[in-house]
Structure 1
Amino acid sequence: MSESTRAMSRRGLLVAGGALATTVAATGESSALARGEAVPRGSRSGDGADRARIDVHHHFTAPTWVDWAEREGLVQRQELLWWARWDLDSTLALMDRAGIATAVLNPTMQDRYRTAAQAREGLTVVFEAMADLVAQHPGRFAVLAPAVLDHPEVTTWALRRAFDELGAVGVSVKANYNGVYLGDPSYDRFLAELDERAAVLFTHPLDLPGGTPGVPTVPGIPNFMCDFLLDTTRAAVNLIRTGTLDRYPHLSVILPHAGGFLPQIATRMEAFGGFCTPPLDAARVRDHLHRFYYDTAGPSAPSGTLVATAGADRILFGTDWPAASADIITDFTVPAIETDPVFTDRQRRGIHRDNALRLLPALRRAQGLSR
């Protein structure tokens, strides 16, 4: 079954939040974080002073890739859901409305290739599309390298091209492949390549292993409501259990959706970690919880638990566009940060921008900043 059908149940959220970003207009937002900030070059209109956020959770399905994939028989255009119908005009409108300076493009649907040769051809289409966007809209977009773990040699080639030719700021990978979660030894070759580059790994969940893609595990409850968060949580706990961040000390990992349930079960892990294999002591759990990064895509719950678990300097702004609609982003995701009393103004600026620039220095080049 196609990945486009896996998110079928998310349509309700889209409708509830407002489906069409093409109808939005820039709001001229002027939050404290934007005042005095270096202005990104390459703004579409105006002086860009109202755009300062960096979106690290932005799904990108290149229209040219859809054309290619349809010719190859990998997708059927009429079956694609909203999150796979990325277009430039609605994206720039959303970015302006939400005060986003730069979106980090995370290529979707890159696990459909039948052969290594087809994977290389499809990735070439994706890379060309991302390169064109970066060139045509300076400062507005940065790119992630997609991992195609079913084809290790292609992944090595893709990493080389993405980092060395396109200036990728990180790598995208799913929380699990065929039920095998990040942290398993089968990922070692891939993670060793990333560690050599001191790369940042962006994870993302899907349906839980063992279920039917696109079919709710619990009737009436879309899988993205709970199962996606558990998928992320399983990957994070497995990374802690296997000591992956110790074995690859130059690797950084971003957990989406505020880390799934990880912050909420932090104390539980400290108390019951001894039942894992190998056993986890409380100090090790606390240390690793502070070594992940967490994005705000969701929207997430009030942030006190996450700040207490990881620290505000480990939180990054993310939207989940276009899976999350423009109205969800502007009515829930952005206000959740702006109005949450747990954050100081300095911490808000860090979440919106400075934490990402510190973690991903290549973003400074993407934004045309010299400092």
Structure 2
Amino acid sequence: MPNSGSTSGLNFEELSADKVPVPAVVGAGEQVREVPAAGGAAPGDPDHGQGAQPKIDMHHHFCAPEWREWAAQHGLIDPAQLPRWAHLGAEDAVRFMDAAGIGTAVLKPMLPARYRSSAQLREAVNITLRSMMNVAQEHPARFSFYVPLFLDDLEASSWAVRRGLGQLGAVGVNVTANYGGVYLGDPAYDQIFAELNDFSAVVDTHPHHLPGGRPGAMTVPGIPNFMCDFLLDTTRAAVNMISRRTLDRFPDISVILPHAGGFLPYIAHRLQALGRFCDPPVDPAAVRHHLARFYYDTAGPMAPAATLLAHVPADRILFGTDWPAAPADTITDLALPALEADPAFTPEQLRGIYRENALRLIPQLATV
């Protein structure tokens, strides 16, 4: 091909070990620092010790150790250049989940590389899928997983949809906001979206490098791309899907926008007022309709929710951590307390965000 390797959840070069501090999780096999879960829960108690239902983490990254070994053998990656969190395994994840009161995590697979052929890409996806299945089997009720899609290889993506959703029990697919500058919503992806619509699939999205950027390079010197560019990438994909009326044309898919939708909630009124200048023009009613139909995860930490809730029903918000790319103490000491203290949420809405909304979206998670 070669393939861009854009479907990764996060790009390893973007979050290299020398750019992102990892104070709570420092290496494969090492212990997660024992931090109390929000609300004073003791580590190792996913129920918080207070009768609360355990959370479902819908934004939980995973780099398969089998994929790392295979990719290194084929000269696709240098394991020494991966960030330390990319070497963490399922046991590290379980310790973090117990500390944060998380019962189940849906794995977002990361396998970024420039694959030399479609066959090599399929092998990488198959290795990753088998690894995630093994993790789920070895830790009953703790893990489920998404299928990684590379939409710049439509044939391999179609195979991965059939393999992962049709045969292996994945609960959705994971895609990135753009592939070589072609954003979600583009007609080039209609074939795959039609197949996903046939499966009534959950389509989990994640930002990537902005088009034209050099992988591993900061767009603005000194400002990591995940600080601003990732949010813009998600916003561009969402606006393009609104403009192309993706959710109208494929009404049986469910699209999750990460990081509370990026900047989308903050530009909603701007898009309604000025969308007529887009090509094709954006109908204000389509903006309101799509905003209410997207799902949004809380990974971030996200901003206070008032602006989001002005456009989005609370039952469309899903709990997500971004672990292990986000350090454990960032989640337990900052993100979770901020979420629980957010005055825009009622206790009932928080219960939905932590668990019930995910179960309505993916009922299989109740039987993982």
| TM-score, normalisation: structure 1 | 0.89
Question: Deviation at 1:299?
Answer: 0.5
Decide which of 306, 309, 312 is 1:310's aligned counterpart: 312
Tell me which residue corresponds to 1:5: 13
Could you say if the C-alpha distance between residues 11 and 301 of structure 1 is closer, same or farther in structure 2, counting changes exceeding 3 Å?
farther
Which residue number corresponds to residue 209 of structure 1?
211
1:150-299 alignment, distance < 5 Å: 150-299=152-301
Measure the CA separation in 2 of the matches of 1:5 and 1:247: 35
Q: CA deviation at 1:30?
A: 6.1
In structure 1, the residue corresponding to 2:343 is in which secondary structure?
Answer: coil
Q: Which amino acid letter does the alignment assign opposite residue 145 of structure 1? A: V
Aligned to 2:293, the other structure's residue is in SS state: coil
Q: Shift of residue 149 of structure 1?
A: 2.4
Q: What is the 5 A alignment of 1:356-371? A: 356-366=358-368
SS in 2 for 1:121: helix
Instruction: Report the aligned-residue RMSD.
Output: 2.2
Give the number of equivalent residue pairs.
Answer: 353
SS at match of 1:290: helix
Tell me, in whole angstroms, the C-alpha distance in 2 between the residues paired with 1:194 and 1:303. 30
Partner of 1:327: 329
Q: Aligned partner of 2:220: which letter?
A: V
Q: How does 1:141-156 map to 2 (within 5 A)?
A: 141-156=143-158
1:22 matches 2:31: yes
Provide the identity percentage. Answer: 53
Query: What whole-Å deviation, never above 9, does each CA across 1:29-76 have from its counterpart, x for those lacking one?
Result: 6689xxxxxxxxxxx966856561111111110111101111111111
Q: CA deviation at 1:151?
A: 3.0
TM-score, normalised by the number of residues in structure 2: 0.90
Instruction: Report the CA distance shift for 1:279/1:149 in structure 2 as closer, same or farther (over 3 A).
Output: closer
CA distance in structure 1 between the partners assigned to 2:266 and 2:164 by the alignment: 35
Whether 1:56 aligns to 2:58 is yes
Contact 1:181 1:234 in 2 (8 A): yes
Equivalent residue number for residue 35 of structure 1? none
Contact persistence 2:57–2:106 (CA under 8 A) = yes
> 1:294 deviation in Å?
0.4
Cα gap change, 1:11 to 1:56, in 2 (>3 Å): farther
Q: Which residue of 2 aligns with 1:348?
A: 350
Cα shift at 1:13 = 4.2
Structure 1 unaligned runs (5+)?
Answer: 33-43, 367-371
Q: Distance in 2 between matches of 1:128 and 1:31?
A: 36
Give CA deviations for 1:314-344 in whole Å, capped at 9, x if unaligned: 1000011111000011112211221111111
Structure 1 residue 273 displacement after superposition: 1.2
What amino acid sits opposite 1:14 in the alignment? P
Distance across 2 between alignment mates of 1:68 and 1:6: 21
Q: In 2, distance between residues paired with 1:324 and 1:250? A: 32
Aligned to 2:72, which of 70, 73, 98?
70
**Cα pair 2:24 2:33 within 8 Å, conserved:** no
Amino acid corresponding to residue 13 of structure 2 in structure 1: T
Tell me the residue number matched to 1:84.
86
What is the rounded CA distance, in whole Å, between the counterparts of 1:99 and 1:112 in structure 2?
37
Does the residue aligned with 2:31 lie in a helix, a strand or coil?
A: helix
C-alpha separation between the residues in 2 aligned to 1:165 and 1:347? 35
The separation in 2 between residues aligned to 1:166 and 1:213, in whole angstroms, is 32
Q: What runs of 5+ residues in structure 2 fail to find an aligned partner?
A: 6-10
Q: Output the CA distance in 2 between the equivalents of 1:79 and 1:273.
A: 43
Residues 244-286 of structure 1 deviation map (CA, whole Å, 9 limit, x = unaligned): 1111000110000000000011111111111112222322211
**1:117 to partner: Cα distance:** 1.6
Q: What secondary structure is seen at the aligned counterpart in 2 of 1:14? A: coil
Q: Taking structure 1 as reference, are residues 111 and 200 closer, same or farther at Cα in structure 2, changes over 3 Å only? A: farther
Given that residues 106 and 145 in structure 2 are in contact (C-alpha distance below 8 angstroms), is that contact kept between their aligned partners in structure 1?
yes
CA contact (8 A) 2:25 2:85 kept: no
Shift of 1:88: 2.0
Question: Structure 1 77/256 Cα, relative in aligned 2: closer, same or farther at 3 Å?
Answer: same
SS at the partner of 1:202?
A: strand
Q: Are the equivalent residues in 1 in contact too, given 2:111–2:124 (CA < 8 A)?
A: no
Q: Give the Cα separation in 1 of the matches to 2:160 and 2:285.
A: 37
